[in-house]
Amino acid sequence: MKKLLVAGLVSVAACGVWAQGSDLEYNVGVGLGTEIFRGQDGLVQQVLAATTNGSFGNQTFAISSGTLGARQAETLVQNKQLREFVAQNMDNLARDIASGRGETLNAVSDLMAVPTVARDAYHRKLQSSFDRIYSSETVTSNDVVQRLVELRS
């Protein structure tokens, strides 16, 4: 029994030494617990930070709001299909945006999950912002997607 107890204590001590070299945010993630225990990288502090983060369920809020140590995403849409579609249909999309309607514009709205009831207003907004979306002849498809997302919010 004593051997088992000694082995357990050695394991805990080794974990404590190992965890002290670890980054709290990397191991635990973002959240209230990470903020409370920032600068305290011991095993116990990491367990308490993880427990606090899990108990309060605040990581999702932190990620979406850019708080509690999280960096907020620059865009709401990071859709590979959307980026590829826009890249392959730049000319058709430009024509549709200029006219305020069309198949390509509808497909983009589908990929962006624009609700059907909001599409006409969104398409009008894009039409009136055509010069901002297609700001030059060398505009890239990534620039267009970024502007489409900005105009949606």
Q: What is the mean pLDDT of the chain?
A: 79
Q: Is the pLDDT of residue 60 over 50?
A: yes
More confident residue, 104 or 49: 104
Q: How confident is the model at residue 79, as a pLDDT?
A: 77
Q: How confident is the model at residue 21, as a pLDDT?
A: 47
What average pLDDT does range 16-23 have in this prediction? 49
Confidence of residue 64 (pLDDT cuts 50, 70, 90): low
Q: What is the DSSP string of 49-118?
A: HHHHHHHHT-HHHHHHHT-TTPPPPS-S---HHHHHHHHHTHHHHHHHHHHT--HHHHHHHHHTT--HHH
Neighbours of 127 (CB within 10 A): 16
Confidence of residue 76 (pLDDT cuts 50, 70, 90): low
Q: How confident is the model at residue 17, as a pLDDT?
A: 45
Q: Is the pLDDT of residue 139 over 70?
A: yes
